[in-house]
Amino acid sequence: MLKKKKTKLIILIAMLVILIMTTTIILNAGVLATNSIYYVDSVGGNDNNKGTTEASAWRSLAKVNSITFQPGDQILFKAGCSWTGSLHPLGSGANGSPIKIGMYGTGNKPLLNGGGISAVIYFYNQQYWEISNLEITNDDNFSVNSTGVTRCGIDIENYGAGTLNHFVIKNCYIHDVDGDDANKYTANFGIYFRVQWADPVSTFNDITIDNNILQKIDAGGIFTESAWAERPGVYTGWFIGEWHGWTNVIIKNNILDDIGMDGIVTCVCASPIVEYNVVSNFNMRSGTYAAGLWPYNSDNALFQYNEAYGGRTILDGMGFDCDWLCHNTVMQYNYSHDNEGGFMLVCCDGTKSGAPFNTNSVIRYNISQNDKCRVFSFNGPATNTYVYNNDIYLGVGSTTKPVDSYIWGGWAKGINFYNNIFHLVGSGGYNFGSCTNIVFDYNVFYGNHPSTEPSDAHKLTSNPLFVNPGGAGTGRSTCSAYQLQSGSPCIDSGMSIANNGGKDFWGNTLYNGNPDRGAHEYYSGGPTSTPGATPVPTAVPTPTPTSTSTPTPAATPTSTPGNMILNPDFESGEAYWTNLGGSSSVASNPHSGSRSRQITSTGTGFSQQITSGVVANASYTLKCWGKVATANEIGKCGIKCYNSSNQVVGDWILMDFNTTTYTQKSGTIITPSNGVKLEVYGIRNAGSNYVYFDDMELINNSGATPVPTAAPTPTPASTSTPTPAATPTSTPGNMILNPGFESGEAYWTNLGGSSSVAGNPHSGSYSRQITSTGTGFSQQITSGIVVNASYTLKCWGKVAAANEIGKCGIKCYNSSNQVVGDWILMDFNTTIYTQKSGTITIPSGGVKLEVYGIRNAGSNYVYFDDMELYKN
């Protein structure tokens, strides 16, 4: 018996030894637990620490690079600290649990200085990562051209890893990346995503590049590239594998300045969205062909609400480019000015074998002011280009050609110009070379009339009566100079165009009566809507490459000491505020200073989210001054709190303003135990006129909260196109706006991976598509909601494959934004459209309905159309 006990004891000891050894091996391999936060402090840290608290922070990049991180982990670098070298952490996150790199503490963004290495931040065959709030530089000596080198700020590589998902890069300052200033083909970029050729087929999905500043970059700013890019029947000699476009690529709200070559380029993408970016002073040092913003070898690219100016050289040098190997590029609502190469290039390399193409490019509702050399340039055999409702202004002394053309293995065919306004005070002429199938109709030619002016059966030559032709400056908001005045001959005299995007440059719904010519659809009886959503600031910081601090962007808004709101009086324009629709900072109706926040008669409102200084179980007081333009208007100012899952928690304050003179109101909120973020906002609630707010304050009652040096990255209400100023029509009685999605994104909120597409309709020409990795979409209805009344939702839906399930539903909220009463959810699992319906009754306290469509299961697409909501 004693011998048996001894044997068991020996076995137990051996098992313990094995367990200890295994644990030691795992720890030595750098594999840690999931959902952990690790801190890095270059001054007070120590690599022998655990790293899991600020007091036990790690010190070096080498330590971080030795660790294989797990889903949900966070790597936080201390504000005000700096590191030299490359950051290459190991591991991948998971769907819904990305690994995050960011900062902690207050002060300047943490600085990562590559000092001339190949990439400051590098990922290889990894996925589900988010990078935010870092300063990145990679300069050994910018005064000497680094010919033949490879240098990036952020380099993310896929080498035979299949589809890599979810990368977010936001709120970073990337500057002085000293690459080869004339070679974008050897990985010299501020932000670079690339797929190398290796089996299996490899792509990226779900890339978001948002709210970054890139300055003094050689060669290119933001670039995507793939070897899986060869189109059937086309041989370029550059690619290896067949074309596989990347999905869900969004590049928005970025500022790029002083770029050696190209600004933003999306290569090998399917339906990329590039919006609200400013690219200035590009092609500065390359001495070769480059442009501001453009897609290449991509399908259904959408470039909108961007500004490009200061492009150098006439080797391209255009602000925008519809490049070759692209189908269905749309360039809309952009502003181009003062580019040496012009506004828009439409090109195709006809020298390549097979059947190279550039087809069905659409260029609409853009403004070009004083671009140089040529405004439009058609190079090579591009086919079926549609140019309509653009405003072109060329001032006194200009020799710019409105249209120029070049042979590049052939000539363009099918060039269509409709409803454009050419306001030409200069002396340049039109050159179409040997292009064929050229159509001009319903255009305006005012000022200079060269002998080469194209024939146009319905042309106008009278003054279009712009508000201030030539008077726009830097920033899309200055383009109000190109709105039409009352009495303009362009009003109601244009040609109707189907599938026109649904709105003009300023967000006005098309059409108001008969179509207008130019980028402005005129509405009488009040001010015109402001352009789209919040414009991106056009000023960029002046970097000091050797400094460990982050330069402050020009005109950083100040707050009263203790005020947690940035730019609280709107004196710094749109800075730090998110436009929820129809709102802007205007130089009128201030309570103090010279500006206020205006919400138009059809607008929704604005908001700002605050994360710094938000503490659980603390009280915060919001104060706001507000007024309405007429007595029948109601404006509301409020505050609410969110948890870490972005759900509203605790009390929710909403204060009414209904007087025509400024009054101040205040309310106090207590953050619950799980509160991590506050949102302050102003909205228009009722009436048919304007609302104004000013001088907003948010104070932590337990003590003054330091104002952060950089604003939290705004979370837009939607990644979709902002709501137009006027309401799309619905079937009489239907409470849903834009129910057939014929007006694009108007009135719908994208919950992820959904968009209005020109295909798969039940009726009309558009449907709502949810991608194979998407979530869905929704619309909230507040008008016409009556307690104890019943409402019926009807919806048509289908799935792309039998293993897919889509759901359409409706739910009701109370005034605290909590779901109340019944909740309807209807399944769709057939590959042909079927209609389903369900009825909901508004319970006591119900004030708002939400209709939505979601993808529930499977690996393919879901489509919805023709949604109806009726009060019974």
| pLDDT computed for residue 6 by the predictor | 44
Is residue 659 very low, low, confident or very high in pLDDT (cuts 50, 70, 90)? confident
Distance CA 742, CA 286 (A): 43
718 vs 656 pLDDT, higher one: 656
Q: What was the pLDDT predicted at 129?
A: 98
| pTM attached to this predicted model | 0.62
The CA-atom distances, in angstroms, between 500 and each of 534, 634, 839 are: 23, 34, 35
Q: How far is CA 217 from the centre of its chain?
A: 21
Taking residues 376-398, report their average pLDDT. 97
- pLDDT band for position 732 (50/70/90)? low
Q: What is the DSSP string of 389-422?
A: S-EEEE-TT---EEEEEE-SSS--EEEEEES-EE
In this predicted structure, the answer to whether residue 14 has a pLDDT above a threshold of 90 is no
Residue 319 has pLDDT above 90, yes or no: yes
Least confident stretch, 126-135, 288-297, 509-518, 537-546: 537-546
Average confidence (pLDDT) over 88-101 = 97
Average pLDDT for 478-487: 96
The answer to whether residues 813 and 792 touch, using CB atoms and an 8 Å cutoff, is: no
pLDDT, mean of residues 116-138: 97
pLDDT value at residue 72: 97
Whether 664 has a pLDDT exceeding 70, the answer reads yes
Distance between terminal CA atoms of the chain? 84
Average the pLDDT over 305-313 and give the result. Answer: 97
Close Cβ partners of 6 (under 8 Å, ≥ 6 residues apart):
none
Query: What pLDDT does residue 651 have?
Result: 65
State residue 707's pLDDT score.
32
pLDDT of residue 17: 42
Residue type, 562: G
Q: Are 100 and 127 in contact (CB under 8 A)?
A: no
Banded pLDDT at 236 (limits 50, 70, 90):
confident
At position 637, the amino acid (one-letter code) is: C
- The answer on pLDDT for 792 being more than 90 is no
Which segment of 143-152, 464-473, 719-728 scores lowest on mean pLDDT? Answer: 719-728
Higher local confidence (pLDDT), 181 or 86: 86
pLDDT digits over 805-858, tens only?
A: 888 889 888 887 777 776 777 878 888 888 888 888 888 888 889 998 887 656
How do residues 51-88 score in pLDDT, each as one tens digit?
999 999 999 999 999 999 999 999 999 999 999 999 99
Q: Which of 797, 796, 776, 771 is nearest to 859 (CA)?
A: 771
Kind of pairing between the strands at 264-267 and 293-296? parallel
pLDDT band at 723 (very low <50, low <70, confident <90, very high): very low
Checking if the pLDDT of 173 tops 90, the result is yes
- Three-state SS string over 642-670 comes to ECCCCCEEEEEEEEEECCCCCEEEEEEEE
- Asked if 396 and 371 count as a contact pair (C-beta separation under 8 A), the reply is no
Residue range 550-572: mean pLDDT, rounded: 62
Instruction: Give the pLDDT band of residue 542 (cuts 50, 70, 90).
Output: very low
* Predicted pLDDT of residue 450: 95
- Please write the tens of the pLDDT for every residue from 194-216: 999 888 999 999 999 999 999 99
pLDDT band at residue 332, thresholds of 50, 70 and 90? very high
Omega before 511 within 30 of 0, i.e. cis? yes
Question: Which pLDDT belongs to residue 840?
Answer: 86
pLDDT score of 201: 93
What integer best gives the mean pLDDT of the chain? 85
* Residue whose tokens read 């150098």: 312
Burial readout 229-256 (b: 16 or more C-beta within 10 A, e: otherwise): bbbeebebeebebebbbbbbbbbbbbbb
Distances (CA, A) of 793 to 741, 745, 748, 837, 850: 16, 20, 16, 5, 11
Higher pLDDT, 620 or 471: 471
Residue whose C-alpha is closest to residue 676's, from 621, 620, 613, 622 = 613
pLDDT at position 714 over 80 = no
Q: Give the pairing type, strands 578-581 and 605-610.
A: antiparallel
pLDDT > 80? residue 33: no
Which pair of tokens denotes residue 750?
A: 């994208």
For residue 722, is pLDDT > 80?
A: no
**pLDDT number for residue 718:** 32
Q: Which of 565, 368, 567 is nearest to 469 (CA)?
A: 368
Average pLDDT value for residue range 257-261: 95
Beta bridge partners of 444: 421, 460
Specify whether the CB–CB gap between 675 and 649 falls below 8 A: yes
Per-residue pLDDT at 189: 94
pLDDT reported for residue 523: 94
Confidence at 115, pLDDT banded by 50, 70, 90: very high
pLDDT at 12 over 50: no
Does residue 241 or residue 183 have the better pLDDT? Answer: 241
Helix (H, G, I), strand (E, B) or coil at 347: strand
